[in-house]
Amino acid sequence: MWRRAWVDGVDIWNTYWNEPFRLSHNAGIGLISQGSLDWVDHRVHARITPHQAQGVGIAARVAGRRRWYALSLVEGAARLVRCKDTEQILAEQALSWAAYEPHDLTLEVHGDRIRGWVDDALVCDVTDDLLRGGAVGLILDEGTMLCHDIEVRPITDDRPSEVR
């Protein structure tokens, strides 16, 4: 029943694996999300294991399949992308990672400030105000990823956090 709370935009999300979130998508971007447009300032965290994918990550301020911010692991890098009908790279940092190795990803959206961490290291800190609210989610580009849980916390003060 808990899965019915999620918007499912991936090709395969089966229930017979040990992980609640083992997602596969065959072509292009796949995305699952939960939340609403009144989710404005929040932090999303997930421990993600990529399995032979072009990219895997977490998303915030999701307002549909073509409106979101995402912190993703892509070949040789961590990348922050905004999608508002078309994708635009907002930040990218070289990062070595391998398939089948788990990584902690944290994405924080607070006002117009967007910050992302991979394994507790800050990899991006930008300002952008095109998307103001929305759900959280898991995102992948052509492949498979797994995740046990997703943590979402509101940011209630006027200052972004210093540590996730």
Give per-residue pLDDT as tens, 49-75. 999 899 999 999 999 999 999 999 999
| CATH number, residue 64 | 2.60.120.560
Note whether 57 and 48 are within 8 A (CB): yes
**161 within domain boundaries:** no
pLDDT band at 164 (very low <50, low <70, confident <90, very high): very low
pLDDT confidence of residue 2: 82
The answer to whether residue 164 sits within a structural domain is no
Cα separation, 3 vs 54, in Å, equals 25
CA-to-CA distance for 156 and 27, rounded, in angstroms? Answer: 38
Asked if residue 160 is part of any domain, the answer here is: no
Give me 84's structure tokens: 């508002």
Task: Please report whether residue 45 resides in a domain.
Answer: yes
Residues 6+ apart with CB under 8 A from 158: none
Is 159 inside a domain boundary? no
Judge whether 144 lies within some domain: yes
Task: Name the β-bridge partners of 114.
Answer: 109, 126
**What is the spatial distance between Cα 66 and Cα 29, in angstroms, rounded to a whole number?**
9
Instruction: Report the domain count for the chain.
Output: 1
Rounded to two decimals, the pTM is 0.91
Residue 16: band (very low, low, confident or very high) from pLDDT cuts 50, 70, 90: confident
Domain limits at 32? 2-154
| Cα(38)–Cα(33) distance, integer angstroms | 14
Does 80 fall in a domain? yes
Indicate if the pLDDT at residue 48 is higher than 80: yes
Q: How far apart are CA 45 and CA 164, in angstroms?
A: 8
